[in-house]
Chain A
Amino acid sequence: MVDSANKKDRADKPVLSAQGVQARFCLSYGQSTKSSFGLDIDIDIPGQGITAIFGESGSGKTSLLRCIAGLEKHVSGSLRVNGIVWQNTSVFVPTHKRSLGYVFQEASLFEHLTTMGNLRYAIKRCKQTVNPELFNQVVSVMGIESILAQFPQQLSGGERQRVAIARALLSQPKLLLMDEPLASLDTARKLEILPYLERLRSSFNIPILYVSHAIDEIVRLADHTVIMRKGKVIAQGGITELFSRADLPLGVNNEVGAILECKVVQRDKQWHLMRVAFDGGELWLPNVENKQSHSLNNTQRNKQRNTQRIRVLASDVSLTLKPHTDSSILNVLSGQIAEINNDKDPAMSLVRLKVGESYLLARLTHKSLQNLALKVGKNVWIQIKSAAIVR
């Protein structure tokens, strides 16, 4: 129990950064070993941007969110949001007095109220007054102008979820909690809502905790990531940093891939390509104009057009010892092997590559490793077959 004593010391110390969320929870369900589930968590979440809480189902993501919202009773722990104590050994602020917004997996609208009624429910109980400007902004960002008079039963799943997000925003929370808001929707509806969630980040300056087990949502939305497994946090940090680590269970085999934040430096009209630069090199990619840009103002549009988040799957990366000029592969970078890990598949290994200040992952067979005599520290040429623009 030395560990928990240390944690206690830490929680009692004054926190230097007043912003963000400092949370420490400990709870266990069920006495029998058969059904027991516990949560043992100590995290520090930044006060801005989207922090994804990632893990398999049953890893305690939702429980963590419910603890932060105060919906889970009989939980010991401490919680501080933007310097305000929501919970410690002597304080437990009830949910309705916490300045938070919560978007549940199912929209959970009040069925007896219209869309407008649902929004008014939040506005009426908000501590600050909601000025019409904010109301209009929320309604237009979520695209629900035309359904204000309708009842929840009349709305599609995607519309309901957008109303739920708008309702949470109108309570002007200091912290927005989202529990797999897309999980109950089919792929088409997911793709419908994702752009709204992206706009959420650019339009409202609220820290968001976003629970998900879908890698594609996280790589698209998150700035920071907390990875959970069996009720414990196994890693937390910036998204590019975490996703280029070779030792984390980030998705099943073919989903592992590094993330690069890139700037567009050239658009080639002739070949429909664009050249993007990241911290360590440049890549050619198919040219893509952002479809959502019409709804953004000029600065946002420029920013979106010139920065791209790119995901390079480990299975799309191969290594050579000499640069090949007779290959169809367009993107060849020079780098160094930083780490070699075993994959879940006994034939495969996961190789972490340092390219300038960035990292890439490559999924190779053990046989190839031996054939090329690849070892940590060796300089190699990295061939990237394809890269996906995720944001």
Chain B
Amino acid sequence: MSLSDGDMATIWLTLRLATTVTVLLLIFATPLAWWLARTTSWFKGPLSAIVALPLVLPPTVLGFYLLLAMGPNGVIGHFTQALGLGTLPFTFWGLVVASMVYSMPFVVQPIQNAIEAIGNRPLEAAATLGAGPIDRFFTVVLPLAKPGFMTATILGFAHTVGEFGIVLMIGGSIPGETRVVSVQIYDHVEALEYAQAHSLSGIMIVFSFLVLLMLYTFQRKRKAVGMTYGR
């Protein structure tokens, strides 16, 4: 198995992207999942549908609209330019934003399921014992929803590593900036470099298998709430 410096760079970039996206998603998706799990608002249905859209849409559709939105005349584009950041397409941070949209349901749904499974009662019990809202979140919700957060982390990370279409649309294939493993494999195949394509593809298969194995072993060990996602 031979990995060129270019291949190694794509692996590091992929890991960096997946880590960044997962951390950011956990921060942003948790309040969203919390709201979806506890609200009785009419807006729950529409918002859940929007969050779940990436599950069914072709990545090209998402990529196309994100490209327009992040472009110089798009909503996000105007905003980033006003902040003096330029435009996001074909940059690492453009990929981060696109990946966050794409992996959102894989992070939101397990957390939402876990929080729903906890129910109101432990929170009410905590309140009667003198715990305020933030206290309740960190001492009751987080520990009880931990399996859900684990699933969300694993799935969010793995899904970001495995994406291809949206990366190609938003990021292209700029070495060290947007060229991730899946794109590199595509380029190798295009150039008929099957040996390199084999190496990277093999790594991807082993990685994906190990991640899923970890997920299901973990699920079996702890038959806990919010762990049924992805079955």
Contacts and interface: CB of A to CB of B under 8 A. Distances in A.
Interface in A74-114: 94-98, 100-102, 104, 106, 108-112
A95 B121 contact: no
Interface residues of B, number: 19
A151 interface: no
B127 A167 contact: no
Interface string B126-148: 11111111011001100110100
Contact of A102 (B128, B133, B135, B136): B128
Interface string B144-156: 1010000000000
A96 B127 contact: yes
A168 interface: yes
B8 interface: no
Given A104-B121, A121-B139, A112 B144 contact: yes
B140 A100 contact: no
B125 A96 contact: no
Contact of A69 (B128, B131, B132, B139): B128
B86 interface: no
Contacts of B129: 96, 101, 121-122, 125, 167-168, 171
A167 B126 CA distance: 11
A108 B122 CA distance: 6
Interface in A38-97: 69, 71, 94-97
B130 A171 contact: yes
B130 A125 contact: yes
A69 B129 CA distance: 11
B125 A108 contact: yes
Contacts of A168: 128-129
Contacts of A69: 128
A127 interface: yes
Nearest to B133: A96
Interface string A111-132: 1100000000110011100000
A94 B122 CA distance: 16
B134 to A, nearest CB: 11
Contacts of B125: 102, 104, 108-110
Contacts of B130: 96-97, 122, 125-127, 171
B187 interface: no
A320 to B, nearest CB: 54
A112 B121 CA distance: 14
A110 B144 CA distance: 8
A168 B139 CA distance: 17
Contacts of A125: 129-131, 135
B193 interface: no
Contact of A100 (B121, B128, B131, B132): B128
Contacts of B121: 104, 106, 108
A4 B27 CA distance: 49
Contacts of A109: 125
A98 B144 CA distance: 25
Interface centre among A98, A104, A106, A110 (most CB of B within 10 A): A110
Contacts of B124: 71, 95, 102, 104, 108
A348 to B, nearest CB: 43
Contacts of B122: 108, 110-111
Contact of B128 (A95, A106, A110): A95
B127 A110 contact: no
Contacts of B132: 94, 96
A121 B124 CA distance: 14
Interface in B86-130: 121-122, 124-130
Nearest to B146: A112
B26 to A, nearest CB: 20
A102 B141 CA distance: 19
Contacts of A167: 129
Contacts of B140: 110
Interface centre among A69, A94, A122, A167 (most CB of B within 10 A): A122
Interface string A319-359: 00000000000000000000000000000000000000000
A276 B15 CA distance: 83
A97 B129 CA distance: 9
B124 to A, nearest CB: 5
A101 B128 contact: yes
Contacts of A71: 124, 127-128
16 contacts: A95-B124, A95-B128, A96-B126, A96-B127, A96-B132, A96-B136, A98-B128, A100-B128, A104-B124, A108-B121, A110-B122, A121-B126, A125-B129, A125-B131, A126-B130, A167-B129
Ordered nearest first, which 3 A-B pairs have the shortest CB separation? A125-B130, A102-B128, A95-B127
Given A96-B131, A102-B128, A125-B135, 11 more contacts: A94-B132, A96-B132, A100-B128, A101-B128, A102-B124, A104-B121, A108-B121, A112-B146, A121-B126, A121-B139, A171-B128
Interface of A: 69, 71, 94-98, 100-102, 104, 106, 108-112, 121-122, 125-127, 167-168, 171, 177
